Structure 1
Amino acid sequence: MSTTDESAAYDRFLLAYFLDEHDEHGEQVRFAVSDGPAPVSWTALNAGEPVLRSDVGEHGARDPFLLRDHRTGVFVLLATDLRVWPTQDWDRAVRHGSRGILVWTSHDLVSWTAPYLVRVAPPEAGNTWAPKAIWSEERGCWMLVWASALFAGEDRSAGTYQRIMAAPTQDFVTFGPAEVYLDLGHDVIDAAFLHDGPDWYRFSVNTRPVPEDPGAGTHILVERGTSFDDPAYVPVAVDVGRGDLQRGEGPAVTRSADGTSYLLVDEFGLRGYHLFATDGPPGGSWRLVPDARLPSGARHGSLLPITSDEAERLLTANWPDPHHS
């Protein structure tokens, strides 16, 4: 089982995204449907306004991640419980942010439950960012992954770095204990995964310090392994997006029915999402798709393969009043 289904029946895509923290209503969930079988042009739903809003936790929803649970037929949307508007206080967000994630569920992608907040990070975590989930056959469960800065105690005046954390779940209501999944001794965030036959590809923002090359590590790293728990992932594409983007984060990766792999990279604080593609294995050479038309201002989200029927249902749905605040 995978969060990416490569069946030819899935010939459209649903993009979940948010806008930046300088917009009062930016940090809420928006949807767009691809205009065809490749995620190169999009129709934003609800006139580009939020389709889901958080009224719990910090009252903001960033980094939305969509998955289809084939065991239950339920769609799950995960998001970061964070609102930076209007203070722009990133120091607070890192040191004293939420330890929970936001969860919505749906049977049809149109009618969603109210959001609920689940605490997943340990007490020493200063933040809980960019939750995603991947099915692990070895563990027989979904593995939630996110980034947290872990502090030594209540005094958080000293700095620390982001690690990738993980916790198991069967139902996105109850989660097992958090564990450190990836600790590199420096910031690593935004882990995402894609299967390609027996291979697992892991995408992340690995801000490794390279004194002789200040631009290194500010883009997307792609590694190949054999499973979620493989301890020896090997880098296969380094700094994807460099040369086209000043910096990148929030990788959203998927596979189209024709076998092309697509990767969205968020040029955060600047131009937002840009689309990259590769015809070979996901660890190969990624090229910018310069004529891609993405929703205006789209940032750090996820790509879900959907059917034409699901796309039509989304496009014709009666979404919330776009002027509702």
Structure 2
Amino acid sequence: MIEPEGHGYLLVHFVEDPHGHAEKIFLSISEGDDPLRWRRLNSGAPILESTLGTTGVRDPHLLRRHDGNGFHIIATDARIWTGEATIDWDRLSRHGSRNLVVWDSPDLVHWSEPRLVEVAPVEAGMAWAPEAHHDAESGDYLVYWSSKLFADESHTGDSHSRILVNRTRDFVTFTPARVFLDQGVEVIDLTIHVEADDDPHPGRVHRFAKDNSPDGRRIFEEVADSFFGEWRPVATRIGSQIADGIEAPLVFRHHHERRWYLWVDSYELEPQGYRALTTTDLGSGHWTQIDLDLPARTKHGTVLPLTRTEYEAVAAAF
């Protein structure tokens, strides 16, 4: 929706640092109302850290409460860089944390202490890359993430990541998880964008995710009339002109015009971090690469459009 009061954008993310500990919560802010020029807040230092669970957080997601009563950050409970020479991704996906780390805030400046919430069932190997949005029909927040599911308690045998979903109203208590997206191949990093009232198809839902299978669809886009509706393919291998090794799509709309931005996180190119694409037709599947001025190694997060009051408060606080 075109927001006359909209001004500036806030990015929550972590930083990839194999030699230190940057698996924490960082904030970057746009330079004024420009969605393509950014600076890291708090003199480049993190604003939040988890001492719970694995003591690391990745893939944070920042969302605004629909009732105007604050904000939440949800993140993967994972510390990958622990001094080991190599990362055993298979072990991490079989015996990782089934928890998410959650923070609450009334104003984006003051944040609660972190808490762990268990969302994935015992047959899950992990709970990675959580995101959420408000479901107007039920009044719940739908929370979704990727998990491998196994048939035995030892989590042996073959499996693949699929997307699970549950519901909450307070980000404290959650319903049992159910499978939302299982296409028989490795799918991770789901993000959802719902068209606004002044968009061509109000309420239409677009989902972007990463097909991680060999020679798969990579970043793909699908569309449906509702979150639990019938999904139709729109595009595959989005951003393949940038690199094959991209993941963690995030999508947001420009405050003042009908233009959308799709960022993809490159782990193949150096320096690692987000690259940007744009379109003026969200349902076309046609995305054009565009320059993005963002500090290097800014990894997997989400962008929150701000009001001018919020922008000024966050910029001043950090």
**SS of aligned partner of 1:314:** helix
**SS of aligned partner of 2:236:** strand
Shift of 1:73: 1.6
Does the CA contact (< 8 Å) of 2:145 and 2:165 recur in 1? Answer: yes
Give the structure 1 partner of residue 287 of structure 2.
Answer: 286
Equivalent residue in structure 2 for 1:16, among 12, 16, 39: 12
CA distance in structure 2 between the aligned counterparts of 1:157 and 1:43, rounded to whole angstroms: 44
Give the structure 2 partner of residue 303 of structure 1.
Answer: 303
The reply to whether residue 179 of structure 1 matches residue 178 of structure 2 is yes
The reply to whether residue 29 of structure 1 matches residue 25 of structure 2 is yes
CA distance in structure 1 between the aligned counterparts of 2:43 and 2:177, rounded to whole angstroms: 38
Does the CA contact (< 8 Å) of 1:76 and 1:104 recur in 2? Answer: yes
Shift of 1:91: 2.6
TM-score with structure 1 length normalisation?
0.90
Which 5+ residue runs of structure 1 have no aligned equivalent? 320-325
**SS of aligned partner of 2:237:** strand
Identity across matched positions, percent? 39
CA displacement 1:121-169 (0-9 Å, x = unmatched): 0000001000100111233210000000001112333231001000000
Shift of 1:208: 4.7
CA distance in structure 2 between the aligned counterparts of 1:264 and 1:19, rounded to whole angstroms: 16
The reply to whether residue 206 of structure 1 matches residue 211 of structure 2 is yes
Give the structure 2 partner of residue 323 of structure 1.
Answer: none
Shift of 1:36: 3.0
Shift of 1:198: 3.1
CA distance in structure 2 between the aligned counterparts of 1:142 and 1:8, rounded to whole angstroms: 26
> Structure 1 pair 47/57, CA: closer, same or farther in 2 (3 Å)?
same
Shift of 1:246: 2.5
Give the structure 1 partner of residue 312 of structure 2.
Answer: 312
The reply to whether residue 264 of structure 1 matches residue 260 of structure 2 is no
CA distance in structure 2 between the aligned counterparts of 1:102 and 1:283, rounded to whole angstroms: 35
* RMSD, aligned CA: 1.5
**SS of aligned partner of 1:311:** helix
Does the CA contact (< 8 Å) of 1:14 and 1:32 recur in 2? Answer: yes
CA distance in structure 2 between the aligned counterparts of 1:301 and 1:185, rounded to whole angstroms: 26
CA distance in structure 1 between the aligned counterparts of 2:300 and 2:56, rounded to whole angstroms: 14
Equivalent residue in structure 1 for 2:75, among 75, 79, 97: 79
Matched AA of 2:211: N
> Structure 1 pair 21/178, CA: closer, same or farther in 2 (3 Å)?
farther
Shift of 1:268: 2.1
Matched AA of 1:85: W
Give the structure 2 partner of residue 152 of structure 1.
Answer: 151
CA distance in structure 2 between the aligned counterparts of 1:37 and 1:235, rounded to whole angstroms: 33
Give the structure 1 partner of residue 109 of structure 2.
Answer: 110
> Structure 1 pair 282/13, CA: closer, same or farther in 2 (3 Å)?
farther
Shift of 1:58: 0.5
Does the CA contact (< 8 Å) of 1:222 and 1:283 recur in 2? Answer: no
> Structure 1 pair 224/53, CA: closer, same or farther in 2 (3 Å)?
same
Shift of 1:90: 2.0
Shift of 1:11: 2.1
Give 4+ residue runs of structure 1 displaced > 3 Å after superposition.
Answer: none
TM-score with structure 2 length normalisation?
0.92
CA distance in structure 1 between the aligned counterparts of 2:283 and 2:105, rounded to whole angstroms: 30
Does the CA contact (< 8 Å) of 2:29 and 2:39 recur in 1? Answer: yes
CA distance in structure 1 between the aligned counterparts of 2:252 and 2:139, rounded to whole angstroms: 22
Does the CA contact (< 8 Å) of 1:65 and 1:302 recur in 2? Answer: yes
CA distance in structure 2 between the aligned counterparts of 1:23 and 1:226, rounded to whole angstroms: 45
Give the structure 1 partner of residue 98 of structure 2.
Answer: 99
Shift of 1:307: 1.3
Which 5+ residue runs of structure 2 have no aligned equivalent? 196-201
Does the CA contact (< 8 Å) of 2:74 and 2:103 recur in 1? Answer: yes
CA displacement 1:204-239 (0-9 Å, x = unmatched): 112355xxxx3x423x10111011111x21111211
Matched AA of 2:66: H
CA displacement 1:230-280 (0-9 Å, x = unmatched): 1x2111121110012232111111111212101110112532211111112
Give the structure 1 partner of residue 252 of structure 2.
Answer: 254
Deviates more, 1:116-125 or 1:10-19: 10-19
**SS of aligned partner of 2:23:** coil
Shift of 1:282: 4.5
**SS of aligned partner of 1:39:** strand
Matched AA of 1:256: H
Does the CA contact (< 8 Å) of 1:38 and 1:256 recur in 2? Answer: no
Does the CA contact (< 8 Å) of 1:21 and 1:83 recur in 2? Answer: no
